[in-house]
Amino acid sequence: MTDSVAIRLRGLTRRFGDVVAVDGVDLDVMDGEFLTLLGPSGSGKTTVLRMIAGFERPDAGLIELGGADVTRVPPYGRDVNTVFQDYALFPHMTVQENVEYGLRVKKVAKAERRERAQAALESVRLDGYGDRAPSQLSGGQRQRVALARALVNRPKVLLLDEPLGALDLKLREEMQVELKEIQRGVGITFVFVTHDQDEALTMSDRIAVFNAGRIEQLGSPTEVYEHPATPFVAGFVGTSNLLEQAAAQAVLGKPGTWSVRPEKIRVIGTDEPVREGEHAVRGTVREVIYVGMSTRFVVDLEVGGSLMAVQQNAEGSTDLGHMRGQPVLLVWNTRHEYKVAD
């Protein structure tokens, strides 16, 4: 990653009828960066991606690619390529012809484009599949053809619109690792759209969390997860675990809305000691949920509201169902509490 800006968005706005889909977005994407646009459906993340690609015209604002204003440039004049959610492979062409398409319309000589397409197919582990029709491939293979078709053009920026959405969980996790490796290998700027917070946390250098057409927070996965800037981010990335107003005042002695991540909270007996630098709150276990690697406790607080705590199922007995209805103490180090609103 260098310090130069690959994509610069300023005041980007797009309306569909009365709905403001994208509402004055400012964003700088650095060269070679893996940036994820994360948000629920309808938050404007896909519209931003489509405006960078050139499929949608912004109603207001500026789009720069590598320092040049491309706001009014059609898609075929922009040095970006897109991997579509439905892959959009040309069904009347073979895999090889699909991958060669971008080079063909740019009039690259036949021998060279053959060679480059084959290299691209190799890089996504699909060598030997060139003569097949897209309809003869599995979902994961089509996904990789779409990736090869985009990468073969060596664009400055690759845009990915929920490319793993149609794959099953196992394949999706494999592809996450693979995509990240490919991105590191080719050094191209990736802008990745997803609604899946795990995917965003796993792959990104930085995450832009979208809500209602605006960026709520922009930061590294650690920053976004550990220091959510707003209650929306705290809720959308990870479990929202909020101490609100009166409860915060009672437990922390401070006003505002505060967040503590579930895995930072220990569940102990009411007579156990609280350590130096920890906050503690009394409550009653409402629910115990066993999820394999860990157990989740939902605890109703005496001061009002509830918190979730997660404990690793390390060794010994992990059947903690008997704790339902028991009074407990929730404790956490004060450095894990974050103010998310006044």
Q: Does 14 bind another protein (CB under 8 A)?
A: no
Q: Does 290 bind another protein (CB under 8 A)?
A: no
**Which range touches another protein (CB under 8 A), out of 109-117, 148-156, 228-236, 327-335?**
148-156
Indicate left, alpha or beta for 185 from its phi (over 0: left) and psi (-120 to 50: alpha): alpha
Site string for another protein, 93-112 (x = CB under 8 A): --------xx--xx------
Q: Where are the beta strands (DSSP E) in 197-237?
A: 206-211, 214-219
Closer by beta carbon to another protein, 190 or else 332:
190
Sheet holding 80-83, edge to edge: 80-83, 157-161, 189-194, 34-38, 206-211, 214-219
**Which range touches another protein (CB under 8 A), out of 14-22, 84-92, 170-178, 320-328?**
84-92
Spatial separation of the C-alpha atoms in residues 305 and 307, rounded to whole Å = 7
Residue 94 neighbours by CB under 8 Å, 6+ apart:
130, 131, 132, 133
Query: Binding-site residue total for another protein (CB under 8 A)?
Result: 27
**Which range touches another protein (CB under 8 A), out of 121-129, 133-141, 198-206, 263-271?**
133-141
Q: Does 135 bind another protein (CB under 8 A)?
A: yes
Among 88, 218, 252, 298, binds another protein (CB under 8 A): 88
Closer by beta carbon to another protein, 155 or else 221:
155
Backbone angles phi, psi at 35, to 5 degrees: -110, 130
Q: Does 80 bind another protein (CB under 8 A)?
A: yes
Single-letter residue type at 298: V
Q: Could you say which residues in the range 150-179 bind another protein, by CB under 8 A?
A: 150, 153
Q: Using alpha carbons only, what angle is made at residue 76 by residues 72 and 81, rounded to the nearest 5 degrees?
A: 105
Among 42, 84, 154, 298, binds another protein (CB under 8 A): 84
* Least separation in angstroms between CB 87 and another protein: 7
User: 297, 267 in Cβ contact below 8 A?
Assistant: yes
Spatial separation of the C-alpha atoms in residues 139 and 121, rounded to whole Å = 16
Closer by beta carbon to another protein, 133 or else 303:
133
Among 36, 43, 82, 259, binds another protein (CB under 8 A): 82
Among 91, 277, 292, 316, binds another protein (CB under 8 A): 91
**Which range touches another protein (CB under 8 A), out of 90-98, 202-210, 220-228, 291-299?**
90-98
Give residue for tokens 């015209």: 57
Q: Does 46 bind another protein (CB under 8 A)?
A: no
Q: What is the DSSP string of 32-91?
A: T-EEEEE--TTSSHHHHHHHHHTSS--SEEEEEETTEE-TT--GGGSSEEEE-TT----T
How far is Cα of residue 120 from the mean position of the Cα atoms in its chain?
A: 26
**Which range touches another protein (CB under 8 A), out of 71-79, 119-127, 185-193, 210-218?**
71-79
Residues that bind another protein (CB under 8 A): 53-55, 74-76, 80-82, 84, 86-92, 101-102, 105-106, 133-135, 149-150, 153
